Amino acid sequence: MNEEVGLQPYLMLGALLFVCGVVCMATKRNAIGVLIGVELVLNGANINLVAFARFNPVFEIEGMVFSLMVIVLAAGEAAVALAIVLNFYNNHMTVDVDTAEELKG
């Protein structure tokens, strides 16, 4: 119970979150579901960054600063994405991404 957890379990958790986010982006038909997938991807990447910051002494501060930047930028990106989704909903009365095909062909 008292042994140390190495770097690899954290990276595998990050990979799991990343893959869940990718599958979420691919399968959800609701536009906000796609946004939820994007958040999962960014969280997986953040776990990777902070794990490397903890286990690699050279990367100590940079990992944390990098993940702070990612968190802030993700918040901004979620705001703009939601504004776009709301515009789409106001124009088409639906949030189904399968119906967003006016630019096709």
Partner 1 sequence: MESFLFYVIAGVTGLCAIATVVTHNIVRAATWLLFTLTGTSAIFFLLGADLVGATQLLVYVGGTLVLVVFGVMLTAQGPFISMKTSSAEWAISATVGLVLLVVLVLGVMSLPQSGLRRPPSPDTADTDLVDKAMQTTNLNNNDAATAPYSAVIGEGFLGVPVGPPHIERPDGAPRVVRASYLLPFEIVSVHLLVVLIGAAYLARAKRRRGASS
Partner 2 sequence: MASPLFADTSFVWFVALAVIAAGALIGFMLVSAIFSVWLERKVAGRIQDRLGPTRVGGKFGWLQTLADGMKLLIKEDIIPDAADHMLFRIGPYIALVGSFMGFLALPFGLGVVAMDMNVAVFFMLAAMSSEVFGIILIGYGSGSKWSLFGGMREAAQMVSYEIPMALCVIVPVVVAGSMNLSQIAIQQSGGLWNWYVFHDPFTFGAFWTYFTCAMASCKRAPFDLAEAESELVAGFHTEYSGFRWLAIFMAEYGSMVAVSGIASMMFLGGWSTGLPVEFATLFGGFETLQFTIGGTIVDLGMGFGNTINVIVFIFKCWFLVFIMMWVRWTLPRLRIDQVMMTCLKYLVPISCVLLMGVSLWQLLLPFWLNDVCRWLIFGLSILGLAWFLRTIVTFASSKPGEGMPGMWRTTGLPGYQGAKQTP
Give yes or no for residue 101 binding partner 1 (CB under 8 A). Answer: no
Q: How far is CA 100 from CA 27, 67, 95, in A?
A: 15, 33, 9
For the chain, report the end-to-end CA distance as a whole number of angstroms: 59
Distance CA 96, CA 46 (A): 29
Distance CA 56, CA 74 (A): 25
Among the listed ranges 2-10, 37-45, 62-70, 81-89, the one in contact with partner 2 (CB under 8 A) is 2-10
Give yes or no for residue 1 binding partner 2 (CB under 8 A). Answer: yes
Which of partner 2, partner 1, none interacts with 103 (beta carbon under 5 to 8 A by kind)? Answer: none
Contact positions with partner 2 (CB under 8 A) in 5-44: 5
Binding-residue total with partner 2 (CB under 8 A): 5
List contacts with partner 2 (CB under 8 A): 1-5
